[in-house]
Amino acid sequence: MAFTPWKCRINVNGKEHVIIATLLVDTVYCESFEFKNESEEPSVSGSVTVLWDYNKAFDGNLPFKVCRCDLDSSCIACT
């Protein structure tokens, strides 16, 4: 499994992006990807799923939130 192609599938605001990832020791690192909340909502939710062997997903995903600091100054990413 160490030499299989690794990817990260990122879902945010209803859009899906697949980016290259790298396995180092026991941690998967996704390539840099810029998120922007261009909606009128103070935040939008998203998730990251790790893919291996082209399209096999590990169980579960990692949720995240993208804030608009002009609409939600209490968001932890804005402080």
Q: pLDDT (tens digit, 9 = 90+) per residue, 31-62?
A: 998 888 888 999 999 999 999 988 899 888 99
Q: Are 21 and 28 in contact (CB under 8 A)?
A: yes
72 inside domain = yes
Q: 70-76 long-range contacts, Cβ below 8 Å, gap at least 24? A: 71/40, 71/41, 71/42, 72/42, 72/43, 75/42, 75/43
For residue 34, being part of any structural domain is answered with yes
Q: Is residue 49 part of a domain?
A: yes
pTM score, whole prediction: 0.81
User: Which residue do the tokens 């020791």 mark?
Assistant: 25
Q: Look at residues 59, 60, 1, 8 and name the one whose alpha carbon lies nearest to residue 25.
A: 1
pLDDT bin (cut points 50, 70, 90) of residue 2 is low
Residue 1 lies in a domain: no
pLDDT band at 10, cuts 50/70/90? Answer: very high
**Domain containing 17: what range?**
6-78
Q: How many domains does the chain have?
A: 1
The Cα–Cα gap between 39 and 70 comes to 12
pLDDT of residue 63 exceeding 90: yes
